[in-house]
Structure 1
Amino acid sequence: MTSGFLSALGGRIAERWLAALALPGLLFVSAVTTAVVLGHGHWSDLGRLRDRLDTLADSPASHSAGSVVLVAAGVLAGAAVTGAAAQSLGTGVELLWCAEPHGPVLRRLADRRSRRWRAADAAFRTALVTAGRARITGADDADRLADVAERRHADRERIASAPPRHPFWTGDRLAAPAQRLWRAQRLDLAAAWPHLWLLASDGTRAELHAARLRLTAAARLCAWGAGYLVLALWWWPAGLAGVVAVASGVRRGRAAAEAFAELTEALADLHVRDLATALGVESAGVDDPGLGERLTRLLRKETRAA
């Protein structure tokens, strides 16, 4: 039984390694080989690439089993190293997406997003007031002005769902649930999160974990895209793959961050009263305005002044 379990576990680990590191790494190694052989001058000359492969196949070393094994091992090792590098770079991309505005560059990006959000917010509020007046007075263009207000609201939401504080959209979206819960209920999500996680069902945890893994995978895809963009210095078609990978990674990362943030806020909304019950904190019902503040005081281990 133990050997069967270990075999199954080893098989799963091998599958994950093959999917996450080896296969993308092999593809990148193949692209590097193509770039070295063809370059910019012969970027589409498949015959040149085929001739080089035929030359290698006809060499005496290719008929030696030991040489073939060594080459295969070297290729797999190169693919694994490349995959590990992309994984590390993906972690850096993920940290950058969620970074605080430290340093002149990140502060400038955060300030730019904040100015854009304030301008979009002012435009939305102006359109909303105009649409409201038109609705009250019964103007003929009331419906059109209402549509304008909805578009202005969508423009603001594309920048951030709350006043932005981070250099990138992902960081603000992931921070939005904590901001909303603090403003609405005075609940410190950072202090309450471990307790809420323990109260969540297995299905809810699985959904959150899956969204988190999708965010990590999207960042890793951006890392692969950056590698192909660098490779475009020697073989320009690799740049096309890099652009597609980066654009797809950013889009998938935004979708994963949106899902993770929505699930986080939903978990807090659904289980905050369960948390109060588990901790012995009195609750006056669904609309208890002081529940979040009492939970925050308790979870932060705050004591009242004597």
Structure 2
Amino acid sequence: MTSGFLSALGGRIAERWLAALALPGLLFLSAVTTAVVLGQEHWSDVDRLRAWLDTLAHSPASRSAGTVVLVAAGVLAGAAVTGAAAQSLGTGVELLWCAQAHGPVLRYLADRRSRRWRAADASFRTALVTAGRARIEGTDHADRLADIAERRCADRDRIASAPPRHPFWTGDRLAAPAQRLWRAHRLDLAAAWPHLWLLAADGTRAELQAARLRLTAAARLCAWGVGYLVLALWWWPAGLAGVVAVASGVRRGRAAADAFAELTEALADLHVRDVATALGVECAGVDDRVLGERLTRLLRKERREA
């Protein structure tokens, strides 16, 4: 039984290694080889690439089994190293998405997003007031003005669902649940999160972990895209793959961050009273805001004593 379990575990590890590192790395090394052989001048010369492959195949070294094994091992090692580099760069991309507004560049980006959000919020509020006035007066175009107000609200939410504080959309989206819970219930999500996680069902944890992994995978895809964009300096078609990879990674990252934030806020809404019960805090007939303040004081005190 143990041998079977270890074999299955090894198979899963190998499968994940191939999917996450080796295969993308092999694809990138193939693109690098193509770029070196063709270059910008002969970017579409398939015959030139075929001739290079034929020369390589007919070389004396290709007839040696030892040489072939060593080359194959070197290619796999290179693919793994390339994949590990992309994984590290993906971690950097993820950190950048969630970065605070430190430094002149990040502060400029955060201030720019804040100005755009305030302008969109003012436009939405103006449209909302206009639509409300038209509905009270019973004018014929009240419904049209209400639709305009809804579009203005959607425009504002595309920038951020709450007043922006981060340079990028992803950071604000991930921080939004904590801001909303604090404003609505005076609950410190950072202090309550370990308790909420322990009380969550296995299915809920799996959904949260899956969303988190999708965010990491999206950042890694952006990292691969950056690599292809750099490779475009030697072979411009690689830039097309880089643009597609970066755009797809950003889109997937936004979707994953949105899902993770929604699940986080839903978990807090559903289980905050369970946390209070587990900690012995009276919650029957208590207003959510009062309960949140009690839990925040209790949890922060526990953290300080630790």
Query: What SS does the corresponding residue of 1:55 show, helix, strand or coil?
Result: helix
Specify the SS of the correspondent of 1:99: coil
Letter matched to residue 108 of structure 2: R
SS in 2 for 1:276: helix
| Aligned-pair CA distance for 1:286 | 7.1
1:286–1:9: structure 2 CA closer, same or farther, 3 Å change rule?
farther
CA-based RMSD: 1.1
Deviations 1:67-122 (A, max 9, x none): 10111011101100000000000000000000000000000000000000000000
Unaligned runs of 5+ residues in structure 1 are: none
SS in 1 for 2:40: coil
Look up the match of 1:277: 277
- Residue 104 (structure 2) aligns with: 104
TM-score with structure 1 setting the length = 0.98
Q: Which residue number corresponds to residue 143 of structure 1?
A: 143
Q: Counterpart of 1:257?
A: 257
Q: Give the Cα separation in 2 of the matches to 1:123 and 1:96.
A: 30
How many positions carry a matched residue from both structures? 303
Q: Which runs of 5+ in 2 are unaligned?
A: none
Map Cα deviations across residues 187-241 of structure 1 (whole Å, 9 max, x no partner): 0000000000000000000000000000000000000000000000000000000
The equivalent residue for 2:46 is 46
Quick one: distance in 2 between partners of 1:81 and 1:238?
20
2:87 corresponds to: 87
CA distance in 2, matches of 1:156, 1:148: 12
Which residue matches 1:202? Answer: 202
Q: Distance in 2 between matches of 1:11 and 1:284?
A: 51
Aligned runs of 1:97-246 on 2, under 5 Å?
Answer: 97-246=97-246
Rounded to whole Å, the distance in 2 between the matches of 1:270 and 1:283 is: 14
Distance across 1 between alignment mates of 2:148 and 2:97 = 31
Identity among equivalent pairs (%): 90
1:300 aligns with 2:300: yes
In structure 1, what is the Cα distance between the partners aligned to 2:163 and 2:196? 26
Distance 2:54 2:124 in 1: 65
CA apart distance, 1:171: 0.2
**One-letter amino acid of the structure 1 residue matched with residue 149 of structure 2:** A
Secondary structure of the residue aligned to 1:283 is coil
Q: Which amino acid aligns with 1:235?
A: W
Tell me which amino acid in the other structure corresponds to 2:227.
G
CA distance in 1, matches of 2:196, 2:148: 40
Give the TM-score, by structure 2 length.
0.98
Q: Aligned-pair distance for 1:251?
A: 0.2
Residue 302 of structure 1 deviates from its aligned partner by: 6.8
Q: Secondary structure at the match of 2:162?
A: coil
